[in-house]
């Protein structure tokens, strides 16, 4: 403490992403640089600082702290208040305090940083080739946190006490591992083992052997940050095919991990935005147009999902000679969630993996790789979760449970909407378990008391998420209609609580107000006042209800039955299989048949008419197939898709598809004209509704808008108008974004619900 200057004391509270990102060390350094005394500690609301010294130096401290905040941190609020001087002589980091309810945000997992990479490959460094190297700027966070505040005993590293050299770094404020909770080294920390046949190898040897196995065409289960991956050589079609057969994953594309950016550029064409995403901190899987066609890796699509190495282990594997492009897919069977405990991986992957590369550090929770495309996020998981995506005005905690497909949950606490990682499809037992775990996780981590919580769920009475919501001991439970939640997700991201909009929500399925299956919906309203359905796709009968979503010809029956002069679709060129006739019978009897306005099923119908007559093996497959078919042509005259009396009429559109196909038209051109017709019809309907309702903002959401061909065409057609077009950015347009929308509507309309 310098003499002379008048001593004043201040208490400073900082909120945001300030735990687990090297924030306290940075506070310590700035305090020292400004010759201030006092202390800093992690508290549940964020970081608290006590400063004593000259007023100018305290002001300089706040300025410097903001300017030099760690890259992974994100400050949302700084409160400075006068405090009682305590006569401190130095500045220290104090143990964490726990009182009240924690609202500090947990940092998402971070990729290994350049400095750690340099040490990893420096033979003189004591962490040479150590796969768990990390520092305050990099490494695991969310996947090792068991409770808040973020301190070592509350992480999965609790079982490895630091040795003296690690402890010295941990306690040295000048060291970049100062208070890095997962810090470890080969002598005190966890290590990796390879189990291959009856043999076990440890450490470097396990990694060298894994690389050789991969190069030789084997399939290896590799423990990562949020779960196990199944890895094999992406250019070895036999290995990839074996992986498909063993994993029961027939056609869904696999993601590829490229050794480096150069390899990624060789695999896919990357624009500047896609390249920025590829190297961004979440290190997501980036979908981009393929430059090399790997038939076994990504059948029937012109895109390929590519990511870069993000853990030290990945870098070690490539360095040890693993193939330049590795299939790296979530370790599971079919669409089950990723395996993340060792026992689970060994049990579930038996017969799939030839060998297991097992890391000793436990994973606190399963977190899949995230999937993005330039312009939007498709699966929000590792690297993004559990980041807050929006601020919402909620006086009590809100827990929104999402939809049953591509489930995610959202917790609103302290005015922040925290969206969970992608959980999966709740008809899978493992996903349902994961769903319940995530709810427990969020409520324990943030100390939520059930008697305070408003639980929000989908309006579908049969959804597993709905049944679970009702079983919870919450203060109150409210249902939000599916498509309203989609619309709300876009507005919540932007913090637009009052703006009146037209929301066009197009997806596969959602329970409507009238019990019908909705999915081609025009809604007007705002977050604050709710949404009203003003127009929709013309209704068709859906034979077999939601089950029809797996069989495009079954979905088609009710749509094509409305086409005058329908030809025999079992005959050439359509070749519809028997399922079509069975579905016709279901339709005639009217059993298990529901009216639908689903745009997803209209896509299925068009796909079936153009040759996709088999069953799908993953959600959205037929629509993706149709989109990629259409990409084979640069333009086409749009088929008619008229908007009359609040309905978009699919009959002229499908008539044109059938007619042109009968005349021997080229399927790619027909698919393109179908897309252009949809876009033109939607644009016309949007203009009409906006004009009569005096709206100038349009929200687009729902899984159909993952179709970038349709989205771009629609945006182009509206570009010349005064209309502003808003889409999702922080959460997916698919059902992964539903929980955020549910939370937002519940937050803004609490008064209505409690009236
Ligand atoms: Zn690092
Ligand atoms: Fe949906």
Task: Give the number of whichever ligand sits closest to the CA of residue 72.
Answer: 1
Q: Residue 335: its pLDDT value, please?
A: 63
Q: 5 pLDDT exceeds 60? A: no
How much is the mean pLDDT over the chain?
93
Query: How much is the average pLDDT of 335-359?
Result: 85
Query: How much is the average pLDDT of 332-359?
Result: 84
Query: How much is the average pLDDT of 295-305?
Result: 91
Task: Give burial (CB, 10 Å; 0-12/13-18/19+) of 647.
Answer: middle
Q: Residue 753: its pLDDT value, please?
A: 58
pLDDT-derived band at 755, boundaries 50, 70, 90: very low
In the chain, % of residues over pLDDT 90:
81
Query: How much is the average pLDDT of 637-665?
Result: 98
Query: How much is the average pLDDT of 124-140?
Result: 96
**Integer Cα distance of 616 and 614 in angstroms:** 7
Q: Residue 339: its pLDDT value, please?
A: 77
Query: Ligand 2 centre and the CA of 149: distance in Å?
Result: 35
Query: Ligand 1 centre and the CA of 671: distance in Å?
Result: 49
pLDDT: which is higher, 75 or 12:
12
Contact 680, 636 (CB under 8 A): no
Q: 328 pLDDT exceeds 90? A: yes
Q: Residue 128: its pLDDT value, please?
A: 98
**Integer Cα distance of 177 and 171 in angstroms:** 8
Query: How much is the average pLDDT of 514-530?
Result: 97
Q: Residue 106: its pLDDT value, please?
A: 80
Task: Give the number of whichever ligand sits closest to the CA of residue 486.
Answer: 2
Task: Give the number of whichever ligand sits closest to the CA of residue 134.
Answer: 1
Task: Give the number of whichever ligand sits closest to the CA of residue 137.
Answer: 1
**Integer Cα distance of 336 and 344 in angstroms:** 12
Q: Which of 103-117, 427-441, 551-565 has the highest mean pLDDT?
A: 551-565
Q: What pLDDT digit, counting tens, does each position of 385-428 carry?
A: 998 889 899 889 999 999 999 999 999 998 889 999 999 999 98
Query: Ligand 1 centre and the CA of 78: distance in Å?
Result: 27
Q: 3 pLDDT exceeds 70? A: no
Q: 377 pLDDT exceeds 50? A: yes
Query: How much is the average pLDDT of 562-577?
Result: 97
Q: 318 pLDDT exceeds 50? A: yes
Q: What pLDDT digit, counting tens, does each position of 8-37 carry?
A: 999 999 987 787 777 888 899 899 999 999
Task: Give burial (CB, 10 Å; 0-12/13-18/19+) of 385.
Answer: buried
Q: 499 pLDDT exceeds 60? A: yes
In the chain, % of residues over pLDDT 70:
97
Task: Give the number of whichever ligand sits closest to the CA of residue 742.
Answer: 2
Query: Ligand 2 centre and the CA of 520: distance in Å?
Result: 10
Query: How much is the average pLDDT of 517-541?
Result: 97
Nearest to 362 by CA among 157, 189, 204: 157
Q: Is 487 helix (H, G, I), strand (E, B) or coil?
A: helix
Q: How many other CB atoms sit within 10 Å of the CB of residue 207?
A: 23
Lowest mean pLDDT among 19-33, 494-508, 555-569: 19-33
Task: Give the number of whichever ligand sits closest to the CA of residue 703.
Answer: 2
Query: Ligand 1 centre and the CA of 151: distance in Å?
Result: 18
pLDDT-derived band at 73, boundaries 50, 70, 90: confident
């Amino acid at each position: 403490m310098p003499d002379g200057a008048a001593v004043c004391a201040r208490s400073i509270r900082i909120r945001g992403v300030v735990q687990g990102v090297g924030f306290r060390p940075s506070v310590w350094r700035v305090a020292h640089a400004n010759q201030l005394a006092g202390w800093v500690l992690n508290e549940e609301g964020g970081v608290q600082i006590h400063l004593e010294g000259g007023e100018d130096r305290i002001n300089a401290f706040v300025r410097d702290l903001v300017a030099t905040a760690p890259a992974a941190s994100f400050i949302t609020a700084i409160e400075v208040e006068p405090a009682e001087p305590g006569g401190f002589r130095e500045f220290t980091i104090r143990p964490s305090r726990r009182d009240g309810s924690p609202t500090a945000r947990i940092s998402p997992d971070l990729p290994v940083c350049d400095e750690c990479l340099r040490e990893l490959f420096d033979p003189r460094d004591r962490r040479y080739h150590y796969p768990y190297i990390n520092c305050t700027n990099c490494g695991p966070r969310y996947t090792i946190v068991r409770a808040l505040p973020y301190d070592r005993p509350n992480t999965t590293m609790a079982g490895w006490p630091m040795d003296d050299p690690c402890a010295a770094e941990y306690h040295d404020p000048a060291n970049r591992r100062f208070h890095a909770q997962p810090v470890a080294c080969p002598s005190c920390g966890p290590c990796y083992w390879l189990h291959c046949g009856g043999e076990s190898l440890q450490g470097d040897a396990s990694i060298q052997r894994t690389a050789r196995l991969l190069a030789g065409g084997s399939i290896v289960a590799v423990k990562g940050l949020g779960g196990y991956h199944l890895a094999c050589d992406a250019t070895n079609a036999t290995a990839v095919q074996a992986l498909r057969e063993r994993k029961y994953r027939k056609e869904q594309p696999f993601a590829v991990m490229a050794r480096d950016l150069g390899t990624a550029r060789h695999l896919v064409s990357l624009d500047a935005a896609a390249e920025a995403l590829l190297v961004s901190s979440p290190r997501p899987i980036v979908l981009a147009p393929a430059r090399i066609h790997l038939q076994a890796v990504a059948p029937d699509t012109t895109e390929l999902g590519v990511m870069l190495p993000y853990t030290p282990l990945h870098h070690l594997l490539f360095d040890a000679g693993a193939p330049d492009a590795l299939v790296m897919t979530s370790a599971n069977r079919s669409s089950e969630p990723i395996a993340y405990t060792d026992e689970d991986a060994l049990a579930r992957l038996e017969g799939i993996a030839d060998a297991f590369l097992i890391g000793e550090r436990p994973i606190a929770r399963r977190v899949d790789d995230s999937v993005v495309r330039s312009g939007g996020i498709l699966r929000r998981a590792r690297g993004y979760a559990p980041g807050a995506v929006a601020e919402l005005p909620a006086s009590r905690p809100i827990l929104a449970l999402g939809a049953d497909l591509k489930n995610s949950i959202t917790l609103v606490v302290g005015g922040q909407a925290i969206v969970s990682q992608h959980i999966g499809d709740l008809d899978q037992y493992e996903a349902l378990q994961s769903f319940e775990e995530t709810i427990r996780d969020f409520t324990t981590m943030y100390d939520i008391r059930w008697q305070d919580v408003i639980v929000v769920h989908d309006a579908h009475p049969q959804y597993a998420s709905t049944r679970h919501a009702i079983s919870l001991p919450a203060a109150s439970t409210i249902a939000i209609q599916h498509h309203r939640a989609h619309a709300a997700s876009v507005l919540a991201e932007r913090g637009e609580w009052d703006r009146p909009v037209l929301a066009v929500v197009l997806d596969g399925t959602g329970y409507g107000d009238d019990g019908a299956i909705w999915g081609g919906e025009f809604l007007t309203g705002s977050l604050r006042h709710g949404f009203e359905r003003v127009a929709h796709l013309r209704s068709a009968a859906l034979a077999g209800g939601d089950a029809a979503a797996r069989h495009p010809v079954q979905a088609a029956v009710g749509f094509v039955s409305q086409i005058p002069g329908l030809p025999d679709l079992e005959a050439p060129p359509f070749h519809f299989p028997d399922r079509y006739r069975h579905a016709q019978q279901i339709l005639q009897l009217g059993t298990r048949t529901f009216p639908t306005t689903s745009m997803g099923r209209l896509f299925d119908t068009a796909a079936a008419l153009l040759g996709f007559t088999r069953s799908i093996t993953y959600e959205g497959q037929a629509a993706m197939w149709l989109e990629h078919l259409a990409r084979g042509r640069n333009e086409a005259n749009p088929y008619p898709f008229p908007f009359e009396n609040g309905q978009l009429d699919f009959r002229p559109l499908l008539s044109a598809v059938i007619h042109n196909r009968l005349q021997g038209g080229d399927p790619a051109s027909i698919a393109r004209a179908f897309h252009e017709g949809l876009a033109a019809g939607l644009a016309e309907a949007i203009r009409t509704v906006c004009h009569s309702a005096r709206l100038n903002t349009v929200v687009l959401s729902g899984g159909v808008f993952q179709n970038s061909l349709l989205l771009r065409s629609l945006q182009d057609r509206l570009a010349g108008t005064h209309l502003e077009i808003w889409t999702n950015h922080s959460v997916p347009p698919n059902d992964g974004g539903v929980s955020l929308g549910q939370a937002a509507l519940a937050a803004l309309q609490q008064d209505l619900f409690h009236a």
